Amino acid sequence: MITKQKGCVDIGGDDSILYEYIRNVVAHMMTSYNYSFIRTPIFEASELFHRSVGVSSDIVKKETYDFQDKGGRNLTLRPEGTAGVVRSYLENKGYSLPDVQKYYYFGTMYRYERPQTGRLREFTQFGVEVLGSNDPFIDAEVISLQYKILEALRISNLQVNINSLGDNESRMNYREALINYLKPHIHELCPDCQERFNTNPLRILDCKVDAQNEIIQNAPRTIDYLNTESKKRFETVLKYLDLLEIDYEVDAKIVRGLDYYDHTVFEIVSLDNNEGSQSVLGGGGRYNKLIKELDGPDSYGIGFACGVDRILAIMKEMPFYQDFKESIDCYVMYVSEEEKLYALEITQNLRLNGVITETDYLNKGLKGQFKAADRFKAKYLIILNNEDLKKGLVNVKDNATKEEVKVDLDELTEYIIGNL
């Protein structure tokens, strides 16, 4: 038997109801904040990710799905959403539009990771990218939007961990301090960190292997190296978050794994879930350098990404999860061929009026159909019989109270809608 690939999941049954619910809540919130949906291709030129995410990043070095198509093009399955959105923004000259461009996406991402709880090879993220403004208002808006979406999904005990990497000057000063600090200890860190020391020392702070190592725990903090302007900017972002009543903690260890961040970086965690990195539901940051890196004009960008699979796993543990279990509005029951003709029409009519309706396709007897209706958790049973149909009537049974009434065939749909 062919089975699914390692690190992949099928989202079906009750999970798919939650998945659709998450998608709807996300779409609803994004629309209120006036973010427009963007769908970029699942594969892009490999170069896009090499240049944006960075060749020295773990993602590009170890985790991308790279392949050549039959035309010899070097392609990569997207490991994250930002690069594709920025590529599209530049290709469509979004920067020439007078307003700030605010996009959101919802789709699958691909990383060749070691699969474990909350870490898949194909996973779903939703996220935003805001292009064209450097105003701290946007930093606060993006962070609070992420927070508010998770809150709307009823995920409790959320906390934003926030840090600032500052502008280029601040980053360079910090980089130098970090190199000087790490130099005498570097041989005590993992082989990857030793390599990172030469390619991108900031990445060492993100290392999954050495995260608890004292050397990393005691490393210099980016916020101590911010120049006056960057410090002021960071304070403004925090002031705005206070105003929006977002719970945050300044966490100097957050530098984020990707090459392109500057100024604000953040993660959002669920404090209810203490399975280490699995509790990180999303994160993001400002990436003012990225647009130029991809041959665009000097401009500004900020975004976040949230992991839907981790959100879904948390929601499944919540008491209200039961509310999401599939239930239908009506089950239409019939036995004879004549009744079946009515069943066809009635079922179609109800469905076209938005009433979730199921019926029998297996020529089951009435007993079997009652059982099926219970499996579907049908609220109403519509029981057809020839005698009543001839008089223009149908039997409607409330499956909870077991009360049964005869309803005029012509008024059936309104009756059901009125009682749902």
Q: Which is nearer to ligand AMP, 116 or 198 (CB)?
A: 116
Q: Which is nearer to ligand AMP, 63 or 293 (CB)?
A: 63
Q: Rule CB under 6 A: is residue 155 a binding residue for ligand AMP? A: no
Sign, Cα dihedral of 204, 207, 209, 215: positive
State phi, psi for 25 to the nearest 5 degrees: -60, -45
**Cα distance between residue 63 and residue 126, in whole Å:** 20
| Minimum gap (Å) between residue 120 Cβ and ligand AMP | 4
From 64-72, 91-99, 305-313, 383-391, span contacting ligand AMP (CB under 6 A): 305-313
Q: Rule CB under 6 A: is residue 351 a binding residue for ligand AMP? A: no
Region for residue 205 given its phi and psi (left: phi exceeds 0; alpha: psi -120 to 50; beta: otherwise): alpha
Instruction: Tell me 39's DSSP state.
Output: -
Q: Rule CB under 6 A: is residue 123 a binding residue for ligand AMP? A: yes
Q: Rule CB under 6 A: is residue 399 a binding residue for ligand AMP? A: no
Q: Which is nearer to ligand AMP, 125 or 170 (CB)?
A: 125
Q: In what order do the strands lie in the sheet with 66-68?
A: 43-45, 74-77, 66-68
Residue nearest to ligand AMP (CB): 307
Residues contacting ligand AMP: total by CB under 6 A: 17
> Is 317 exposed, middle or buried (CB count within 10 Å of its CB: 0-12, 13-18, 19+)?
exposed
| Minimum gap (Å) between residue 147 Cβ and ligand AMP | 14
Tokens of 280: 């990180």
Q: Rule CB under 6 A: is residue 260 a binding residue for ligand AMP? A: no
| Minimum gap (Å) between residue 117 Cβ and ligand AMP | 9
Residues 84, 136, 303, 307: which binds ligand AMP (CB under 6 A)?
307
**Cα distance between residue 384 and residue 394, in whole Å:** 6
**Cα distance between residue 166 and residue 234, in whole Å:** 8
The CA distances from residue 82 to 86, 121, 147, 325, 378, in Å, are: 6, 18, 19, 34, 43
Name the residue type at position 301.
Answer: G
Q: Rule CB under 6 A: is residue 282 a binding residue for ligand AMP? A: yes
**Of 64-83, which residues contact ligand AMP (CB under 6 A)?**
80
From 100-108, 240-248, 303-311, 387-395, span contacting ligand AMP (CB under 6 A): 303-311
Judged by the rule CB under 6 A, the positions of this chain that interact with ligand AMP are: 80, 111, 113, 118-120, 123, 125, 280-283, 305-307, 309-310
